Every structure is written in structure tokens, then in C-alpha cells.
Amino acid sequence: SDYHYGNGIASRFPIVEHSNEQRSFATFGEVRSMLNCTLDGDQHPFLRDRRFAVTHLDHRDENARLDQLRRFDPLAKNVDVLM
């Protein structure tokens, strides 16, 4: 495919840690990713000890969305806010 997709997190607070996890999903032959980050908790009380993540869930099929969530498993990675 000539199309490339990605995730991004824009923040006015400094990103102090990040990672990007990719998974292949056979449902539609696509690769999806989940971008994780931790922001500088000294900047705002809400940010302390929180992990943020963003991903694109499949919009066409609820079972595919649920499969994506199971395989990315944000709770096991201590993700507090999934966007």
C-alpha cells in the first residue's frame, strides 16, 4: 500500500518517556500501533504517575476493535489514559 499511518501525542508538557508497539492484525491485513508516553509529572498534579497511550482502533468491526484492545493490553502496561 502507498498509505502510511501513524499516531502522535501533542502535549504542552515535556514527554519524559515513550515507546511504540506495533501489531499485525489479520482481519484486514493491517499493522496497527500503540504509542505510549509519560509526561513530566512535576508540571501538573494530574500527570503524576500516569501513562498515556494513543492508537487507531478498527472502525469497521467491533470484534476487530476488541481483538486490538486484547492484544495491545493497555491495562497490563499500566496505561491510565487511552485515546
Q: Tell me the pLDDT of the chain (83 aa) as tens digits.
A: 566 678 899 999 999 999 998 888 766 677 888 999 999 989 889 988 899 999 888 888 888 889 888 988 998 888 999 88
**Per-residue pLDDT at 12:** 92
Query: What are phi and psi for residue 6, nearest 5 degrees?
Result: -160, 175
Amino acid identity at 75? L
CA dist 80 and 49 (Å) reads: 9
What's the predicted TM-score (pTM) here?
0.80
**Per-residue pLDDT at 67:** 87
User: C-alpha 46: how far from its chain's center?
Assistant: 19
**Per-residue pLDDT at 9:** 92
Amino acid identity at 45? P
